Each structure stands twice: as C-alpha cells, then as structure tokens.
Structure 1
Amino acid sequence: MANYLISKKQRLILQSQNVHQKMNLVASPIKVKELAGANPSSRFTGANIRRRLASRLNRSEQLILDFEGVETISETFADECFSKLGKAVGYAVIEGRTELRNASPYVKSIIISAMDSHGVIGYNSARTSYSRLRIARNRYNLSRMRSSK
C-alpha cells in the first residue's frame, strides 16, 4: 500500500539510491593463505579462488586479496586464477576494483607475468612486467641465499 502513496519520481530516486549502495559494496578481505596455503601451486586451487573472485566482481563488490603469509605462488596458479579472470571480466574491472594486500613484489610480478602472457594486460606493458619479474626473482633468490648463510 505504501508504494501507491509515493510518487513516480520518489520511487525512481529510491531505486537509484539502492543501485548506488550496491555499487559501493566493500567485501571482507579474501585471505589467500587460508584458502590455498602458503605456496599455492595448483590449477584446481586457482580455479576455486577465481570462481569466488568472479562472483564478487559480478555483484559489483570491491575485492581485497590478502596475501599475508603467502611466500610465493606458482605460474600455473596465477594463470588459472588471474589470467582467466581477466579474460572473463576484463583487466579494467580487475584493476579498478581489486586491491592486493601484503603481496610481495615477487607475487605481484608472477600475477602480472601470467596476465601479460595471455594478453590480458596488453603487449605494451609486457616488456616492463617481464623486467619486473626478473628483478623480483633476483631479489627473492638473493634474500633466500642471504638467509641460508
């Protein structure tokens, strides 16, 4: 009965407010270590996480991936999770609504490399990300060598 008492203009305003509230949803962080362990490496695990991320992106939520405690990820995991997600929803959507927390430069470079190798990001940034990947790997290997001595 209340719908009949408000005007068409007021109804449109209420609908637009609901849409804006849905567009600004901020989800709780997804903790990668709890879902995939300290060193995620399988395509199966990447596919499971990709499905979770895609469902949140489809609901217009802001994604927060927390990599706390994750030392490294495999290229197959990054390919299955991030490259296929990028192909499905587009790189602009991922870049605009995704935040990587506590991710080491090495983990970030693996993700960038996987997305570049499948054409999600584009050719122009491929050389830059390859250089980042090489630099991050060298730093990671040096830090491991120093800590083992």
Structure 2
Amino acid sequence: MVEFKFIEYGTDFGTRDMGQKLREILLPLINGNDKVVLDFTGVNVVSNSFADECIAKLLLEMPLDELKRRTTFRGLNPLAERSVLVALQRRYKVLSDN
C-alpha cells in the first residue's frame, strides 16, 4: 500500500490546473500498486473543480469498481469529503448516460 499525501503539494486545492497536475502523478501510482491511500490530512480546501479534475476524472481511466478497489481516502474534512463525493457522482452520471 502506497500513500499519496496531498499536504506535500499544499493545503488549499481550488484549480483544475492543480487537479490535472496531481492526477498525472496519481495515475501511475494507482496503476503500479495494489492500493493507494489518498491522504488529505492537513488539507483545508478541496473545490468541486479540483476534485473533479484530480479524482473524478480517474473514472475516464478505469471503472468505478476498480477505482474503489485500488484507492482509499484518509483525512478528508467534511467539506472536502463533500466536494469529492459530488465530483465523483457527477462524473459517474455523465459517463453512465453515454
């Protein structure tokens, strides 16, 4: 199991640019390991757009079941957790409707 610590990249994540940058780091980690812990401990802000770009767009690379099997979350505050859940739900719905 590998840990990806978001705190190493900042405490406030609001932009799609940062989301894309971190997704490009995350994807090889996820593909190369059985399980990756997405550790948000110490992170204050996760916007919906960042969550979509960084986390939810992983659904373009793998099905939801595989993403759930290969990742787990740690340290999300309630607002950040909501942003991630909303982004995943919206992205999943868009992909399911196609």
- TM superposition score normalised by structure 1: 0.58
Indicate the residue corresponding to 2:39 in structure 1.
66
CA RMSD, Structure 1 to Structure 2 (Å) = 2.0
Indicate the structure (1 or 2) with the bigger Cα radius of gyration.
1
Query: Would you identify which runs of 4 or more consecutive aligned residues in structure 1 move more than 6 Å?
Result: none
Unaligned runs of 5+ in 2: none
Aligned to 1:118: 91
Which residue is 2:75 aligned to?
102
Question: By how many angstroms is 1:121 displaced?
Answer: 9.1
Using the TM superposition, give the Cα deviation of residue 81 of structure 1 relative to its aligned residue in structure 2, in angstroms.
0.8
Larger helix share, 1 or 2: 1
Shift of 1:43: 0.9
Corresponding residue of 2:57: 84
**Unaligned 5+ runs, structure 1:** 1-25, 124-149
Within 5 Å, give how 1:130-145 maps onto structure 2.
none
Give TM-score, length-normalised by structure 2.
0.85
Corresponding residue to 2:21 among 25, 40, 48: 48
Q: How many residues align?
A: 96
Q: 1:121 to 1:91 in 2, by over 3 A?
A: farther
Q: 2:6 aligns with which of 18, 26, 32?
A: 32
Aligned counterparts of 2:79 and 2:8: Cα–Cα separation in 1:
20
SS of residue paired to 1:30: strand
Tell me the CA shift for residue 116 of structure 1.
Answer: 1.1
Q: Which has the higher strand share?
A: 2
Q: 1:94 to 1:110 in 2, by over 3 A?
A: same
Q: CA deviation at 1:108?
A: 1.5
Letter in 2 for 1:94: L
Q: Supply the distance in 1 between the matched residues of 2:6 and 2:23 (Cα, whole angstroms).
A: 11
Greater RCO structure (CA 8 Å; 6+ sep): 2
Alpha-carbon shift at residue 122 of structure 1 (Å): 8.0
